[in-house]
Amino acid sequence: MYTKKNVIAKEIPMIDTIIFDIGRVLVKFDWQEYIASFHFPKETADILGRAVFLNSAWPEYDRSALPDEEILTRLCLAAPGYEKEIRLVFDNFPSSLSLLSHAVPWITSLKKRGFHIYYLSNYAETTRRKNPDALAFIPLCDGGLMSCDIKHIKPEPEIYQALLTRFQINPENAVFIDDSMPNLEAAKEFCLHTILFENYPSASAQLERLLAPPDAC
């Protein structure tokens, strides 16, 4: 005879796979802080933020389907007269990224517990090539995809489908951790469990609650 608790336990899928976004989840990415490091006047910093990181052309940098120089041209068109400053910010951007202190210990701990670990991120080929140290966690993972690999960016459905298909991931047994709600909403369309990353303690606690096996009593 099944009790209600047993039925619920049977219906809850067992999570065996964790998929991580990279920027702001495993790698520090703070463009406001980065621009501030140049000590531009506030007005100039505001203009550069809008022209570069808030520009609709910026996601195309992550897609990596166009030459960087073409992306740079588009950025410069958004702020005539600031080409020198925009080029400075653009060219040095990869060096602004750094591995977050929790990244390797978190992944290492999950791997030791038997979970499969993947990454799924909007990440430019130039950034990957110029700053490999920020991606020191990758050898610990079972695999993953960056937007530059397949020329699709989150939240486009193709990038999620590509990850699930390439690595034969059952989405009902996987959880995706990302700092962007639109990216998580797109992941839900593939039946992935999701966690909004706001900070490590909160995300880690949410993950542990999800990973906790249902009470079989």
Backbone φ and ψ for 80, nearest 5 degrees, come out as: -55, 135
Distance from C-alpha of 210 to C-alpha of 206, rounded to nearest angstrom: 6
Position 111, amino acid: K
Q: Which residue has the tokens 């993972």?
A: 141
pTM recorded for the entire structure: 0.92
- Residue 83 near residue 52, CB atoms below 8 Å: no
pLDDT, tens digit, for every residue of 154-193?
999 999 999 999 999 999 999 999 999 999 999 999 999 9
- pLDDT, tens digit, 9 for 90 and up, residues 55-68: 999 999 999 999 99
Q: What is the pLDDT of residues 74-107, one digit of tens each?
A: 999 999 999 999 999 999 999 999 999 999 999 9
